[in-house]
Structure 1
Amino acid sequence: MNDLEKVYTERYNKHLFGICKELEDYIRLCLRDVSRIDRITTRPKSIKSFIEKSKSTDNAGDKKYLDPINQIQDQIGARIITFYTRDVERIYELLLESLKPIEQKNRIPDSEWEFGYFGNHSIFLLPTEVYESDFEPGVVPQFFELQIKTMFQHAWSEANHDLGYKNIEASMSPNDKRLLAFTSAQAWGADFTFNDLSAKHLSDYPETKH
Structure 2
Amino acid sequence: MSDIEGDYRLRHDKALTPIAGSLATYLNDLLKGIQRIDRVSTRPKSIDRFVAKATKLKDDRPKYDDPLHQIQDQIGARIITFYLEDVPRVADAVLPYFHAIERQKIVPEREWEFGYFGQHYILMLPADVVDSSIDKALVPEFFELQIKTLFQHAWSEAEHDLGYKPGSQPLEADQLRQLAYTSAQAWGADRMFNELFLAREGVLRSAG
What TM-score results when the alignment is normalised by the length of structure 1? 0.90
- 1:164-183 to structure 2, matched below 5 A, reads 164-165=163-164, 171-183=170-182
For residues 170 and 11 of structure 2, the distance between their equivalents in structure 1, rounded to whole angstroms, comes to 36
- Which residue of 1 is the match for residue 162 of structure 2? 163
- Which residue of 1 is the match for residue 184 of structure 2? 185
Contact 1:81–1:151, Cα closer than 8 Å, also in 2: yes
The 1:165–1:49 alpha-carbon spacing in structure 2 relative to 1, beyond 3 Å, is closer
- 1:191-206 to structure 2, matched below 5 A, reads 191-202=190-201
Deviation at 1:170, TM superposition (A): 7.8
Q: Which secondary structure state, in structure 1, belongs to the residue aligned with residue 9 of structure 2?
A: helix
- Which residue of 1 is the match for residue 131 of structure 2? 132
Contact 2:24–2:40, Cα closer than 8 Å, also in 1: yes
Q: Does 1:36 align with 2:36?
A: yes
Deviation at 1:169, TM superposition (A): 9.3
The 1:15–1:36 alpha-carbon spacing in structure 2 relative to 1, beyond 3 Å, is same
Paired letter, 2:18: G
Contact 2:20–2:42, Cα closer than 8 Å, also in 1: yes
The 1:169–1:3 alpha-carbon spacing in structure 2 relative to 1, beyond 3 Å, is closer
- 1:12-161 to structure 2, matched below 5 A, reads 12-58=12-58, 60-133=59-132, 135-161=134-160
What TM-score results when the alignment is normalised by the length of structure 2? 0.90
Q: How many residues align?
A: 204
Alignment deviations for residues 106-134 of structure 1 (CA, whole Å, 9 cap, x no partner): 11011111110001111111000001246
The 1:186–1:76 alpha-carbon spacing in structure 2 relative to 1, beyond 3 Å, is same
For residues 169 and 194 of structure 1, the distance between their equivalents in structure 2, rounded to whole angstroms, comes to 34
Q: Which stretch has the larger CA shift, 73-82 or 131-140?
A: 131-140
Contact 2:15–2:134, Cα closer than 8 Å, also in 1: no
Contact 1:164–1:180, Cα closer than 8 Å, also in 2: no
Alignment deviations for residues 19-73 of structure 1 (CA, whole Å, 9 cap, x no partner): 1110000011111121000000000111111111111122x23322111111111
For residues 174 and 16 of structure 1, the distance between their equivalents in structure 2, rounded to whole angstroms, comes to 39
Contact 2:119–2:146, Cα closer than 8 Å, also in 1: yes
**Identity of matched residues, %:** 50
In structure 2, stretches of 5+ residues that fail to align are: none
Deviation at 1:82, TM superposition (A): 0.6
Contact 2:163–2:170, Cα closer than 8 Å, also in 1: no
For residues 157 and 5 of structure 1, the distance between their equivalents in structure 2, rounded to whole angstroms, comes to 26
For residues 173 and 52 of structure 1, the distance between their equivalents in structure 2, rounded to whole angstroms, comes to 23
For residues 46 and 3 of structure 1, the distance between their equivalents in structure 2, rounded to whole angstroms, comes to 16
The 1:83–1:65 alpha-carbon spacing in structure 2 relative to 1, beyond 3 Å, is same
Q: Which has the higher helix share?
A: 2
For residues 16 and 146 of structure 1, the distance between their equivalents in structure 2, rounded to whole angstroms, comes to 15
Contact 1:80–1:149, Cα closer than 8 Å, also in 2: yes
The 1:176–1:169 alpha-carbon spacing in structure 2 relative to 1, beyond 3 Å, is farther
- Which residue of 2 is the match for residue 208 of structure 1? none
For residues 170 and 201 of structure 2, the distance between their equivalents in structure 1, rounded to whole angstroms, comes to 44
In structure 1, stretches of 5+ residues that fail to align are: 206-210
